Amino acid sequence: MKKFLIILLLSLTTPVLAAPRTHEFMLDNGLKILVREDHRAPVVVSQIWYKVGSSYEPSGITGISHVLEHMMFKGTENLEPGEFSRLIAANGGTENAFTSRDYTAYFQKLGKDRLEISFRLEADRMRRLVLDESELTRELRVVTEERRLRTDDSPQGLTYEQFNAGAFVTSPYRNPIIGWMTDITSLKVSDLQNWYRRWYAPNNAILVVVGDVDPQQVLALAKTYFGPLSPSTLQTVKYTPEIPQRGERRIVVKAPAQLPFLLMGYKTPTLVTAEQPWEPYALEVLAAVLDGGDSARLSRTLVRGSQVAASAGADYNLVARLENLFTLSATPTPGHSIQELEQGLRNQINLLREELVNENELARVIAQVIATDVYQQDSMFYQGMRMGILETTGLGWQALDDYIERIKAVSPEQIRDVARKYLTDDRLTVALLDPLPLNGKPPGPAALSGDALLH
């Protein structure tokens, strides 16, 4: 087995694919444009990214970035509510938008010679949105339904929300992206107008285009539609950084459920906040040692070995504006307690602090990183998404160009060092979902048969 792996490692270091060509432009009004050519199919993905999201929101108006994202489909000085979507559909396109902590993004997927309609409409709603009171009233109802669907009625969604709110005391990452219910329902047209005017401007946006296009033609089209837009004077956002944590935090979430759920999060740096640039890459490799495929430690030891976990995962995102969490999440198998599960996960973290990761494990992580880099090029949308996220977090779209090299450079000692430095009890927040009975019946087989649910 070992010999087999070494052979693979050597061959995988040869680059398998030339990097896709990406072109960067800047309009006079500050709009940055990134164009990546992908000529495999006669289609194009167009995304416009704004540097605003829930982490920009002060108390009292949490969720406003997401509500504004919804209102962006409700008409402009030139378009009726819903007309944006009807025009994109009539041109054979699909479209949507998404809001996160650090960004808000809008996208269309179209036949390659339909790009103009995307630019016309996005340029229009960047500066000429009409925020109507009755439209807002209805859309706030929609967003509260969205919140109920994603969070209030989802035991795991609720646990995630309370976990973040407990792990972060002062950082804006404590707030849910969708916002607190009372903030959502009290939003006014004037709040949204202020938010829109403050953040929706060409000099706070990045236009990302991936597809079967000619970069110079994209630039010319962008100049036509986005060029005339005036920039805004951007104010820097003031926010409180997270205060240092002084000991482990534990949170219990009681909700009607049948399956316990465990979240453990350690405060960790990101590429933006790290003092040592190698540390985020070491944490990235550490996450893959735990959860990079079925051979990784969590599957091998907790799902297959002790069979304490029905599922177990590790999540670390090195691209975020603010200090973030390295998160372990897991559900116990029936017959095992959540305490056993927590102990199993803690043992895995302890092992990383005490012993060096072996070369075979590292070789597998690198093999997966290299292969995934190829697979990701099958999705034009993903390619655009990656550039957009890197831009809106302030790192720049080229920040991960040396990702594979940086991952390969991580040593077993560095992995142990970041485990010792960051995966400590004093930086840890644990959240447990404590199931309350469903339908007034205690959890367990008695409440489970299909018949029992039908009354």
Contact call for residue 296 and other proteins (CB under 8 A) = yes
Contact call for residue 394 and other proteins (CB under 8 A) = no
**Do 432 and 344 form a contact (C-beta atoms < 8 A)?**
no
**Integer Cα distance of 396 and 237 in angstroms:** 19
CB 20, min distance to other proteins, A: 10
Q: How many chain residues interact with other proteins (CB under 8 A)?
A: 102
* 69 among known catalytic residues: yes
Contact call for residue 86 and other proteins (CB under 8 A) = yes
CB 172, min distance to other proteins, A: 24
Contact call for residue 313 and other proteins (CB under 8 A) = no
**Integer Cα distance of 59 and 178 in angstroms:** 13
CB 54, min distance to other proteins, A: 18
Contact call for residue 154 and other proteins (CB under 8 A) = yes
Active-site pick, 57, 69, 122, 242: 69
Looking up tokens 């048969």 gives 449
Contact call for residue 380 and other proteins (CB under 8 A) = yes
Contact call for residue 377 and other proteins (CB under 8 A) = yes
Interface segment toward other proteins; rule CB under 8 A; list 162-170, 278-286, 319-327, 378-386: 378-386
Tokens of 71: 């209102």
Contact call for residue 252 and other proteins (CB under 8 A) = no
From candidates 24, 37, 132, 152, binder to other proteins by CB under 8 A: 152
Nearer to other proteins, 237 or 438 (CB): 438
Interface segment toward other proteins; rule CB under 8 A; list 73-81, 200-208, 394-402, 409-417: 73-81
Helix (H, G, I), strand (E, B) or coil at 227: coil
Angle between helices 359-375 and 2-12 (to 10 degrees): 40
Site string for other proteins, 435-454 (x = CB under 8 A): x--xx---x-x-xxxx--xx
Nearer to other proteins, 63 or 93 (CB): 93
Q: Which of 289, 243, 252, 197 is nearest to 429 (CA)?
A: 252
CB 287, min distance to other proteins, A: 14
**Integer Cα distance of 271 and 276 in angstroms:** 9
CB 106, min distance to other proteins, A: 13
**Integer Cα distance of 318 and 111 in angstroms:** 34
Q: Which of 119, 52, 142, 32 is nearest to 393 (CA)?
A: 52
Q: CB burial class (10 A; 0-12, 13-18, 19+) of residue 404?
A: middle
How many Cβ atoms from other residues are within 10 Å of residue 13's Cβ? 12
Q: Which of residues 27-46 bind other proteins (CB under 8 A)?
A: 40-43
DSSP lists the bridge partners of residue 205 as 50
From candidates 53, 176, 280, 292, binder to other proteins by CB under 8 A: 292
Helix (H, G, I), strand (E, B) or coil at 9: helix
Contact call for residue 19 and other proteins (CB under 8 A) = no
CB 333, min distance to other proteins, A: 4
What DSSP assignment string belongs to 191-226? HHHHHHHHH-SGGGEEEEEEES--HHHHHHHHHHHH
From candidates 35, 143, 298, 395, binder to other proteins by CB under 8 A: 143
What DSSP assignment string belongs to 31-79? -EEEEEE--SSSEEEEEEEES--GGGPPTT-TTHHHHHHHHTTS-BSSS
Contact call for residue 320 and other proteins (CB under 8 A) = no
State CA 322 to chain mean position distance: 13
Nearer to other proteins, 154 or 273 (CB): 154
CB 397, min distance to other proteins, A: 21
Tokens of 282: 């070491």
Strand intervals (E) in 100-215:
104-111, 205-211
Nearer to other proteins, 29 or 185 (CB): 185
Contact call for residue 153 and other proteins (CB under 8 A) = yes
**Catalytic site residues?**
69
